Amino acid sequence: MKAVIVRSSGDLAVVDAPEPVPGPGQVLVDVDAIGVGYVDVMVRRGEYAYFPGAGSVPGLEVVGRVTTVGPNVPEAPAGQRVLALPAFGGYAEKVVADADRVFPAPPGTDAADVVTLGVNALVAEGALHRAGAAAGERVLVRGAGGGIGVLATQIAHSRGAEVTVVTSSPARGERLRALGAARVVDRTGSALPGETYDVVVDTVAGPDLGKHLELLRPNGRYVLCGAAGGSPGPEAFAPLLSHFHASPTLYAFSLNSLSPRTSAPPGRGS
């Protein structure tokens, strides 16, 4: 089969590769569409610690059809069109994934549409669930112009939260308003919003994380689910102690830590 590898320079190259064989609890998927997110940028820059390294095949989300089912898969999804979350290997004609990280694709949907929602929607939903974001609460989304941020904005708004978004782009801000954001904050400006929030969904981290922790209301919840802005450094978490009297909660949320098909993420929303 054909596959795409990352070279040590970060460039991609198409190569011939052996077809993977599903092991126990795994399925083989014929790939129709792959998802590309910020993780893929980090992989190519050599910044993603979990990627095996140069010469390996990236790709953590695909849509395609299950062609082979390995041993010990209780509910065999043979022949089904699915969204699959492999542990890399997705930039290829075929990829293996654990059967409990494979979801049926709705009939009649376009493969590219399904994979666009894929990880973005699972992380956005998981983060909001973990924080227990509720109707009527004020939610701030950092990195709102990105894949996860757009979905977090839409899901929080659809559940009745009042959503403020942070973005660097006026055009993305207008688009986010159309998708339900009540307020848009320009992250390139000097001032942070002079408001406080019940929930912050943060896909950016970086040196400004601490300033955003300061924006939590009493009993507020901060969900860190990405680091597009880099590492925050330990001092960024100081507001958790200086605001101890207000009982702030910091959650981290990664899809890697759970089997999204079978386990709801534990948290306030359980």
Ligand X SMILES: NC(=O)c1ccc[n+]([C@@H]2O[C@H](COP(=O)([O-])OP(=O)(O)OC[C@H]3O[C@@H](n4cnc5c(N)ncnc54)[C@H](OP(=O)(O)O)[C@@H]3O)[C@@H](O)[C@H]2O)c1
Instruction: Copy the structure tokens of residue 244.
Output: 């101890």
Secondary element (H or E) of residue 257: none
Alpha-carbon distance of 209 to 61, in angstroms, equals: 28
| Nearest to ligand X of 69, 181 (CB atom) | 181
> Which residue number is nearest to ligand X in terms of Cβ?
146
**Which residue, 28 or 209, has its beta carbon nearer to ligand X?**
209
Residue 60 C-beta: closest distance to ligand X, Å: 7
3-state secondary structure of 256: helix
DSSP code for 48: -
69/91 with CB nearer ligand X: 91
Please name the residue that has the structure tokens 């992250």.
187
How many Cα neighbours within 13 Å face the side chain of 44?
13
Q: Is the backbone of residue 256 left (phi > 0), alpha (psi -120 to 50) or beta?
A: alpha
Shortest Å distance, C-beta 76 to ligand X: 27
**Distance (Å, whole) CA 218 – CA 222:** 12
CB neighbour list of residue 125: distance below 8 Å, 6 or more residues apart: 151, 155
- Of the two residues 38 and 237, which places its CB atom closer to ligand X in the complex? 38
Cα dihedral sign for 76, 80, 86, 88? Answer: positive
Q: Cite the beta strand spans of the chain per DSSP E.
A: 2-6, 12-16, 26-34, 62-69, 81-84, 94-98, 102-104, 138-142, 162-167, 183-186, 197-202, 216-224, 249-252
Site residues for ligand X per CB under 6 A: 37-39, 42, 119, 123, 143, 145-149, 167-169, 172, 187, 203-204, 206, 225-229, 253-255
Of 164 and 203, the one with the shorter C-beta distance to ligand X is 203
Our CB check for ligand X shows the closer of 172 and 177 to be: 172
Closest to ligand X by CB, 29 vs 225, is 225
Shortest spacing between CB 61 and ligand X, in angstroms: 9
In the complex, the smallest distance separating the C-beta of residue 164 from ligand X, rounded to whole angstroms, is 13
